[in-house]
Each structure stands twice: as structure tokens, then as C-alpha cells.
Amino acid sequence: MKSEKAGPEPSFRSDVTVELVKHSASDTDVLWAARVSTAGEQSLDELTKDPERSKGLLNYLMRDRHGSPFEHNSMTFFVTAPIFAFREFMRHRVGWSYNEESGRYRELRPVFYVPGEDRKLVQRGRPGKYEFLHGTPEQHKTVTEAMEESYRRSYAAYQEMLEAGVAREVARATLPVGLFSSMYATCNARSLMHFLGLRTQHELAKVPSFPQREIEMVGERMEEHWRHLMPLTHAAFNANGRVAP
């Protein structure tokens, strides 16, 4: 197969993007759901007239793991990240819905992931008890050059097959998991907390987690959006060790 490239020039990036597309999510949603068990239907004024009581109830629900009230809300994110991060993402199935762009129905764009200089490259220790260390300038140079060369060759092969009339769903097999993809991901606060507990590291977490940095970057951006939507729920999550109810 020829190595000449056809089509657009590959580009390389080290970031991810997370956009909050739409939402129906507030602390009031949790309070509403929780208080129906004892008070029946309540007005918004009744739910919010005592802020300290609201904080206390949210903390109680989080602490004692009464989780269902945290499900009565919704957030939809548009995520752009490398495919290997999405493969980890889709381990999270309860309370999540996904729709990802398809290489069967569209020509995939040549945007590929290359670690930034701040990305730790060296793993030390045995599985289950390891740490990551910063690489040397020489290691970063090796990684960047090897990835970019591999990406260029794989995308050239992809374009060559398309030019020859091969179906997109067949030609895409040559593309690597470092290719950027995009998806809509919809969740509720409870499912997002489960995700954050596993896919982010945090000093307040009771249970240590060792996420791959790229999916952690997605989680950090999702958490920032959620923090603004549901500040009291987010505070209770942190106050109780970042363990989802």
C-alpha cells in the first residue's frame, strides 16, 4: 500500500473539551424528591425558605447514602476526547446514555492525541501499587515523534482506501485509538458522582482512585459544570469523602 497521504493534513492536540449542552439540574430537584416521602408535594418557596435545613438534608442524604433523590435531574454534555478515553467512559452504564459520532456514516477527521509536556509518561511499580512520573525531554520527544508518524501513516492508509472506493466502515479499521471522537453523554447527579469517584483524584476522597489522566481531564471539566448547577449537592459530595450515595 502506498504511503502518500490524501485528504486533509493531520492535526495534533493534547486537550479535551466538555460543553454543557442542556440541563435540568438543581439542588432543589434533590430536595423536592427527598421531601415527598414525608411532606408530599411542596412549593418551591417551601423547599428553599430554610437554606440551612436544605444543606442539612442534602448532607444527610449523602452521608447515609440515600441515593435515589439525586437521580431526579439531567445533564447532557458534548465531549471531544481521544477514543481510548471513550472506551473507559463506557464502562459507566447505569444512569448514563451515549451517542458517539460514527465512522460508518461520516469520514473521520484527522485530529489525534499527543500528550502535552505536563503529562506524566513513566509508570513505576507493580499493578495496583504504582505511580506515574514525569518523563525526560528525550522521552517526550520520542513519544511525540513516534505518535505523529504513526498517525500520519494510518490516516494516509485510511484516505487511500476511501479513494479506492472502500466503505468507510472498513477503512476506519486502520485508525488508532488516539483519534479524537465526539459524543453526547447524558447523566444525572448520582451517576456523575459515581463517575467522579472513580475517574478523578481528589484530596478529599475517602477511596483512592488511579484514573488515566485523559479521562480525568474530562471528569474535571464535567465536575466544574455540575458544581455551578448544584453547589450544595457538590459540597455535600466533597464533605462526605466523594463517595456517591
Query: Which active-site residues does the annotation give?
Result: 199
221 bridge partner residues: none
Distance between CA atoms of residues 240 and 61, nearest Å = 10
Distance between CA atoms of residues 39 and 35, nearest Å = 6
Q: Which three cell numbers stand for residue 57?
A: 438534608
| Amino acid occupying residue 55 | K
Q: Which three cell numbers stand for residue 52?
A: 440551612
74 bridge partner residues: 24
The full 3-state SS of 107-136, as one line of letters, equals CCCCEEECCCCCCCCEEEEECCEEEEECCC
Using alpha carbons, list the distances in angstroms from residue 5 to 79, 158, 163, 229.
28, 9, 11, 46
| Amino acid occupying residue 109 | R
187 bridge partner residues: 75, 96
Other CB atoms closer than 10 Å to residue 239's CB: what's the count?
14
Euclidean distance between the first and the last CA atom of the chain, given in angstroms as a whole number? 54
